[in-house]
Chain A
């Protein structure tokens, strides 16, 4: 790598700053996995089509494979490793375990990060493609199974754990909003 094809950047991951020299071509996903050892974020397609690499950037869902690491500087990055509060699992994680919202587990980090995004987006009143009444004054739609399915559709699961994932997200939503 030469100075013209690499740069020194600082990534803020799960509250910790990491300064590293990266090849400019390095995606955020590869930087997390190969450089920072945070392999919880998975690579299912490397082209933005499966959701396995979903992380939160400043609290919003993003696919880390379509993001260059150099462009993620100064963003607050949350990966699956940063979802639990120390040893205490997040209600979404807990619900995935209890309701078996996974099988092989490979899509799971992405599903969980995506679910966190869904809960926040919903709480902020964002409508989805299946929201019947999208007028601002209608308020946030109920987080029905159909709403969860629609909002989680960027996260593929080849094991077909969908029904349990939807149940887990619904259960976690209740816990979080309680």
Chain B
């Protein structure tokens, strides 16, 4: 980075609340999402999902469908264009892209055909009446601990599958107190409110695409690779995206089929997933079966920590929910082991879902610590204070700041934690039993190379271009604030354009790395531009543009344990008669680097905390072992927290400066969903005296679990 500006002027826009720049468009309905773009001659595609869980397509009566009114084409494995077979995309090899490339059915809901018609009604009717027969094979969708097919791979996408140091068994044997508990979490679905949609058309030799994606550049690049196209001939935009949470980070069937269909028909085609298809075609979070063994001295100091996690993947692609990763940077012990295993089932392929690994993993480990605190007669916060590691427990690297205990101190003060009666099951409020709980949170602070361009115009305004995505994070606004400060102008003079693959390579909105990675690139370009202007450089009529590429800077970041931290608190009321659980309030206090826009940051953090609530109490996709499909592929059966489920949820933060970090921004998109479920579950124990170790805590689970 340039030295002339380090320690430069006091920031002005960053740190000041700023309403979303696209706010007016969003509240008036003017903001266009992927399915909202009109086109002359638009045709509509409707996907036909398989109705069996395993087998082959034997026959498909496209001739009858083609005779139906308005039907233009029926795409299927017998006639679809060929795709790159060994496709390796942004997230590695991905055979889920091989739509209509073979007749195999790997799970119930796999696309077997796509009907394209003049109107959505015509496409839907033809799709729903399309006769498909299958040669079925026996399927196995039964996820359970001890499944004979479970295996432990070498590597996961995010690191080694196993880590081990010391002798866990010996340390457990020498411990005064041992907690050995099994935890499970349910299959969860991202369920963004906007179903995936794409519109594609060829225009003068260029493929013009609008897609709901978390990364315009990455998706365009992957799409080009998949179709064997020159990357420069693919232009993809995603101006507004109705939520992503990880399920819009890859090329998905709707996009592939829109491109296939427009290429075949020579007219624009839009394909939108139905809500039911959102449960099969875009990834999900695998159910997990976890075991945590903790051994400690009577003083609560950990001697042994073992976390094992089993998840499921499909037969198409291996994806491992990295739940046991959480303890690798969080807590130390002389005997320390984390192990992931996975089993291939005839189910759709899971993927990254908001706080992948950390969400289910923090539930298990933070609940186990609560049990340990109880056994040791320690306050849960005191137990965590006693186990603060000096360096990364597995990596041995120093921490680039770790303000976990400060989060707990501030949170405890605001929540009114001090003086809490630790005894469970003793507070009554009418029919309710009331309790409070807490848990820690962490999320790693990463960065990925990105490029940006910032242009100075002769009229004193500036335009920044970066293939960032604003999926609700407030990135558009945050990047404007960052650019304004780097340029030392007011945000009103800066226009930030995003979500266009023509703007060049940039990381996608994922891994809580978006604003950090993009902000870095924007800041570098803006600073250089300001310096050149300060030196008197002229602005030509088409503007003076500076480009940045952070690849080198990102790759030369010093090796540290870099994380955001948080302390989660919850108060719940449980009706032991009906099994109903009401969360009364939640508080999260975070140390998450420099907060660019307090207004939108608070929204992101509380949103994440509400995900924790929803995971703890509501979300559960239920698979029918007989058919192999889910029984609740809709938003009535798959309940996500609604208004009435969500109490006062407060998020706040403490200062978390890191003068050695070139950006100072940490991600906040995911940490809100870490530890929040555990805080609620721990509060349910405090209310009732019952340890719930299976999520969600449904009313029947409350009623059926005997109180001590």
Contact = CB atoms under 8 A, between A and B. Distances in A.
Given A45-B275, A157-B193, A105 B26 contact: yes
Contacts of A102: 20, 23, 26-27, 472
A27 B675 CA distance: 42
B193 A93 contact: no
Given A160-B610, A162-B610, A163-B646, A39 B29 contact: yes
Interface in A27-44: 30, 33-34, 37-44
Given A160-B611, A163-B606, A153 B28 contact: no
Nearest to B648: A163
A168 B596 CA distance: 22
A148 B604 CA distance: 21
Contacts, number: 183
A122 to B, nearest CB: 15
Given A97-B20, A100-B600, A50 B243 contact: no
A105 B22 contact: yes
Interface string B241-257: 11101000000000000
B241 A47 contact: no
Interface string B41-60: 00000000000000000000
B63 interface: no
Nearest to A169: B643
Contact of B36 (A23, A39, A49, A158): A39
Contact of B603 (A100, A130, A150, A158): A100
B38 A160 contact: no
A39 B210 CA distance: 15
Nearest to A25: B121
Contacts of B193: 42, 44, 50, 52, 104, 106-107, 156-159
A46 B275 contact: yes
B471 interface: yes
Interface in A87-105: 89, 93, 96-98, 100, 102-105
Interface stretch (B171-179, B283-291, B371-379, B634-642): B634-642
Given A42-B193, A105-B472, A163-B649, A81 B120 contact: no
Interface in A137-151: 145, 148-150
A83 B26 CA distance: 12
A109 B25 CA distance: 10
Nearest to B274: A46
B268 interface: no
Nearest to A107: B193
Contacts of A100: 19-20, 599-600, 602-603
A112 interface: yes
Interface residues of A, number: 61
A33 B120 CA distance: 12
B33 interface: yes
A20 B465 CA distance: 41
Nearest to B37: A39
A50 B28 contact: no
A108 B194 contact: no
B31 interface: yes
B515 interface: no
A110 to B, nearest CB: 9
B242 A105 contact: yes
A131 interface: no
Contacts of B473: 103
Contacts of A98: 19
Contacts of A37: 38
A67 interface: no
Contacts of B648: 145, 163
A43 B29 contact: no
Contacts of A80: 27-29
B24 interface: yes
Interface in A147-177: 148-150, 152-153, 155-166
A99 to B, nearest CB: 8
Contacts of A40: 28-30
Interface string B67-106: 0011000000000000000000000000000000000000
Contacts of A3: none
A98 B600 CA distance: 11
Given A145-B648, A164-B606, 15 more contacts: A33-B36, A43-B272, A44-B195, A46-B274, A49-B636, A52-B193, A81-B28, A83-B28, A103-B600, A149-B644, A150-B644, A159-B193, A159-B607, A161-B603, A162-B610
Interface of B: 19-20, 22-33, 35-36, 38, 69-70, 119-122, 125, 190-195, 240-243, 245, 272, 274-275, 471-474, 599-600, 602-604, 606-611, 614, 634-636, 640-644, 646, 648-650
The 5 closest A-B pairs by CB, nearest first: A40-B29, A106-B242, A104-B472, A103-B472, A160-B610
Interface of A: 1-2, 23, 25-26, 30, 33-34, 37-47, 49-50, 52, 79-81, 83-84, 89, 93, 96-98, 100, 102-109, 112, 130, 145, 148-150, 152-153, 155-166
